[in-house]
Every structure is written in C-alpha cells, then in structure tokens.
Chains A and B, each alone.
Chain A
Amino acid sequence: MSRALVSRVSSLAAACALATACASTPAPPGTVSDPWERVNRPVFAFNLKVDDYVLRPVAKGWTVITFEQLRDAIARFEENLRFPSRFVSNVGQAKPVGAASEVGRFVVNSTIGLAGFFDPATRFGIPRSDEDIGQMFGRWGIPPGPFWVIPLLGPSDPRDAVGMACDAVLNPLGWFVPFWGSLANGGVNIVNARARADKQIENARRSALDYYVFVRDAYIQMRDNAVRDSAPPTSGTGYDLYDTGATDLGVYDLPEEPKQEPKKNAPP
C-alpha cells in the first residue's frame, strides 16, 4: 500500500469514527431498542418487495445459467477482494497474528489460488481472520446506535453503515478498474450472494413469526458477537440465556420434575 493511500485510509477512518460517535445513542443493556421502528418497518417491507420482484428472480436466473462450483468460486473471489478492509481492521484492533494471517491468505490465494477463485490457503492451514471496519469501530468502543434498515442495502446501524462505506472504499477493485467495472462486479456479487443464500433466506422467512423482528434481532446479535470475537457476553451488557426477567420461572426446578410424556410412548 502506498503512503498516500495509508494516509487517505487513516483520515477516512478518523472521519468515520467521528461521524459514528455523533450519530449513536446508547441502548439500555439487555433490551432491544428500536427507536426508528416506525420508519424501519416500511423500508423493510419495501426491501422485501424489491427482493421478491427483482433480486430473487434475477438470482434464480443466475442459478440456472451457472453451476454451484462457479458460484462458490465467485464468492471466494469476492472474499479475497475484501482483504484490505480485513487487514486494516485486524491492524486497527491490534491483532498482528490475524493481520499476518490475512496477508498470507491474500498472497497465496491471489497467486496459486488464481486471483482468489480458489482457496488453497485454507488447505495450507492459514486461518481466516474475518474482520471488517464496523467491527473495528465496535472494538474501539463506538456503540452501534439504533437499528437502521437502509433502503436497498438492508439491516444496519449508523456505526456499521459508516463501516460499510469504508469497506467499499477499501475494495481494491475500485482503485484499478473504472467505476462501471466496480459497479458490474458489485452487481454480480450481490446476485451471486443472493443466489447462494436462497435456501437459508427461504428457511428464515418460513421459520420467523415476525420476520422484521427476526432480522433485527439476528443482525444485532451477530454484530455484537463479531465485535466480541465470540467471547461469552459479559453479564449486564449482553444477553444471558437465563436472564428471563422472571424470578418464578421454575427453570432450575425443571430437571427434578417427573416427565410424563416418554412413559406413554415407552415400549411395553
């Protein structure tokens, strides 16, 4: 990376951090705060319509004209392109091992892995250290702010929206190919990712009782977990399985309760 780029990135990161800090309001611990719900819900419904009538049909068509190995290879190519933002985020979180590992993966996969379409690095035992700029902000203690459904882009929050913009700037394709090239690549990436996730999205929509709340909760949990690097939630700040808000739930008595059901089905 050139020095000019490094300074550009660092000033951008500082600007991002400042913008997010101003935009965020702390949510009370243990509860999901959604002050923007009245705006979020209609935008969410609009995004679903766009998905139903445009993105999903296009992704279905894409699935017909491609084969699974190709879609997987394109996904790996796109993942490889996101190396700079993973690298910056690892460095920004003082993770030298993760940063070195990502450099190793990028070098191996960009060369032997034919521009990233293949992933020999994993076979060589070089692990992923998947980080993005939003996670780095989170590690710096910047709160996410309110849940925010962005038109066409989907679930986010002010911190991650700024992080996503930084991730986009850090995509090296934009440095070397003209804008329309990046745009075309972005389009293929979105359609390809939608096609690969089709079954999961279908299952999620079928499983959810309230799809908006399902997505909101999943997004908040996922990002919080990513910032914590899967460490257990510290009490009072995160989610606790048994923190049900009820004192007489009887959960701990449950193991002692005799179970009637299995006896009925027991063989004679």
Chain B
Amino acid sequence: MHRRELVLASGPALAAALVLAAGVSAQAALSAPETEARGTVQSTIEMVLGILRNPSLPQEAKRTQVEQIAYDRFDFELISRLVLAQNWNKLSPKQQTEFVQAFKKHLSATYRDTLDNFHDERITIENSRLEPKGDVTVMTVVHGAASETKVDYRMRKLPDGWRGIDVIVEGVSLVQNFRSQTQSILSSESPDQLIQRLRDKQIQDVAPKGKQS
C-alpha cells in the first residue's frame, strides 16, 4: 500500500542515479586522446591555481611564473601560423620569427593579466570533444561569485606533449579574433608595421608594472 509513495519518493533518487550513471558511462567512454588532453589541462589548472593561491609568493613572482606556464603549455608557432593564415607566407622568414616572438610575449602577458583578476573562483572540467585532425577541445567553466564563464582549450598533440593552440572564451576563439584583427591591419599596413604594433603593445604591457613599483 506504500508502493505509490515509495515510487514517488524514489523518483528523485532514481533520477539522481540515472544522472550519476550517465556521468560514469560518459567517463568510461572517454577516448584516449581526450583523457590525455584533459589530464594536461587539469595539471595546468592546478599548477596555475597553486601559484596564484600561494600566500608566500610575491605578486611579481606569481606573474612571472604564470607567464612561464603559458610559454610551456601553448604552441605559439602554430598559433601564429593559424592567426596569420593566408598572410603567413606574405611574411619573410625573419618577419615570421619576429612575429612569433612578439606574439608569444603579447599573448602570455594577456594570459597573465587575465589571471590577475582571479580571487577564489573555482575551475572545473565539464566536457571534452574530439576535433578533426586529432585535436581535442577541453571545456572548462570558471565559477565566479555571480557568473560562470565558459573557457575551452583547443589541444593538439605535439612531439613534446599536448599543447594549447587556441582558447575559446564564451564562444570567442582567440585565434579567430586575432585572425580578424591581423587581416584588417594587413589590408592597409605592412607586416613590419603589424610587428611594430605588437611591440608597442608590449611596452604598454610592462608599463603598469613600472607604475606600481
């Protein structure tokens, strides 16, 4: 006679069990590349958060160390090629090297500045997806006090391990965005002027540090 109540009461529990089971099977269904790419993203997040949350580290050391992680975990040559796209071959080999160096410094500084605003946000890996050409997109969510931000990392397996080749924030791909910008600039300016713009940005990047000290 309590069966109906039992069924009613077990409804939510059953639903929860189903969700759990779905979660577990989704985990089990992860392909090897996804598992590896997720592992790299997870360890990078832990490293960065470890640095940011270390109370004994001075701010300047945190910034340098986070920038170093960006250098290690992203492949800036591939990113540069993808950003410049059909314009890559319009640059001389010397200009290409200069662009990669300047862009690497600029992006790492951007990454570092973004993390400057971090307080006690949590970051969770929500999902991953196999992409064409063997890439994996690892989807994370940054949980803030009043909002959640979706940050996806496009990962590619390179000889020295999985490296980030694009960051997609709320659906906005960094590579695509800089591709639009460089295309627009190169339609009216020379490659040298583009590289000069990047270098001018670096002077601005360093400027706030000077003000603080």
Contacts and interface: CB of A to CB of B under 8 A. Distances in A.
Interface of A: 32, 68-69, 72-73, 75-76, 79, 119, 128, 196, 199-200, 203, 206-210, 213-214, 216-218, 221-222, 224-226, 230, 232, 239, 241-242, 244-246, 248-252, 254-255, 259, 262
Interface size class of B (residues with CB under 8 A): 35 or more
B113 interface: yes
Nearest to B208: A206
Nearest to A243: B85
B74 to A, nearest CB: 14
Binding site secondary structure of chain B = helix
A226 B154 contact: no
Contacts of A239: 173, 176
Contacts of B132: 242
B20 to A, nearest CB: 13
B61 interface: no
Contacts of B133: 242, 252
A245 B85 contact: yes
B5 interface: no
Contacts of A255: 156-159
Contacts, number: 119
A206 B82 CA distance: 22
Nearest to B87: A246
B88 A232 contact: no
Contact of B85 (A196, A207, A244, A250): A244
Contacts of A213: 180-181, 184
Nearest to A130: B148
14 contacts: A32-B180, A206-B205, A207-B106, A209-B185, A217-B181, A218-B177, A221-B172, A230-B171, A241-B82, A241-B131, A241-B165, A244-B86, A249-B88, A255-B156
Contact of A226 (B106, B171, B194): B171
A220 B86 CA distance: 21
A122 B102 CA distance: 42
B176 A217 contact: yes
B46 interface: no
Top 9 A-B pairs, shortest CB-CB distance: A225-B171, A244-B85, A217-B180, A245-B86, A72-B146, A246-B86, A207-B110, A72-B145, A75-B146
B113 A206 contact: yes
B204 interface: yes
B47 to A, nearest CB: 18
Contacts of B194: 209
A224 to B, nearest CB: 7
A37 B110 CA distance: 27
Given A203-B114, A217-B176, A209 B89 contact: no
Contacts of B154: 241
Contacts of A73: 146
